[in-house]
Amino acid sequence: MPKDDGSPPRRQASTISSSSSSGSGGVLSENNGLVGLRNIGNTCFMNSVTQCLSNTRCLLEYLVRDGYSSDINTTISTMRGDLIRAFASLLSDMWNEGADSSRALNTGPFKAQLQRFAPVFSGYQQHDAQEFLRKLLEGLHEDVNRVTAKPKPITEDIDDDLDDNQKAMESWKRYLRYDDSKIVDMFVGQLKSSLQCSVCGHCSVTFDPFWDLSLPIPSKSGQVRISQCLDLFTKEEVLDGDERPTCSKCKERRKMTKSFSIQKFPKVLVLHLKRFSPLERWRGKLSCTVEFPLEGLTLSKYASNSSTSPLYNLIGVANHSGTTYSGHYTAYCKHPYSGSWHEYNDSRVSNISTGRICSPEAYVLFYEISSSSSKL
């Protein structure tokens, strides 16, 4: 990946000329946040994700308005708050109205804390942006986890006589016994997995939390729609031969069908487009264009419960250009207060037209639930 070229960020003023869209002394306003980040040695993967999170309004306001301070977990957190403090400090610098727009910010202090939490990110090798995002959110969550003492494990299974919604609620309650934070409130949803026996017809369901959805791409090149990726992700799969699971009713290994649906939708939905395969590095990168909407992404087709009709609006895209073995990350982000789109390329920040946002380089998509969506 290219090193930082040292050029200063181009800080663009918003075309909307009103007062601050939020409080916090005008720091969180439509004229701020347009600051580049230095590439300190193959750290473009970190810079692109940081810019996407910086433009995620609920997370930004939680960190920059200092709402997180009283939530810091000092008992079972690995970092005792050091990681979230470092990330909040970086975001505060990015949004500080007194920031010097003639230079890009140094991410070194944040990276130092990140690699304490996740040593895999030590040094200056290139890393996958989605893997970085998962680890960062895990660390931020841990630092403000409301669970301050490890609870006693629940050994009994969830009552099979409960209906699916009751099972989902009980499963979610059990998850929150260990992991419960503002970060979870924002980013975590719940998947429903259904296994149906081909012999007795019994359907067993399980519910699992997710921080993002990794979507397969149905074509190596050309053009596909995000709905086709979601269709493939939720498509019924036949498990037979060596893959046959044991039916909980038959008590025998049976041919079964497996399918996914979304039980609980998160406030911030992260969609990861599987352009790389860790098991098939030789196949290269899938370079097709996945078309996705900037506004009004509807997922009702994939919902477990037909009464939910969530709509999502795009707020950020982490892009990857290049090949499987080398490349460069950038970000396209929608400003949370002005609504204008910008490209973040390490040190450089520039305006971008909405027509350029959907490209063959889109890798991780950040969607925010629309306020007009039905309450979930």
Please report the DSSP string for 151-178 in residue order: PPPP-SPPPTTS-HHHHHHHHHHHHHTT
| CA 166 vs CA 157, 171, 208, 327: distances in Å | 13, 8, 14, 46
pTM of the model: 0.90
Summary mean pLDDT of the chain: 88
How far is the first Cα of the chain from the last one, in angstroms, to the nearest whole number? 41
Tens of pLDDT along 207-220? 999 999 999 999 88
Catalytic residues: 44, 328
Q: pLDDT band at residue 25, thresholds of 50, 70 and 90?
A: very low
Find out whether 335 and 51 touch, Cβ atoms under 8 Å. no
- Does domain 43-151+162-373 fall under CATH 3.90.70.10? My reply is yes
Q: pLDDT band at residue 11, thresholds of 50, 70 and 90?
A: very low
Tens of pLDDT along 30-75? 889 999 999 999 999 999 999 999 999 999 999 999 889 999 999 9
Phi and psi at residue 138, to the nearest 5°: -60, -45
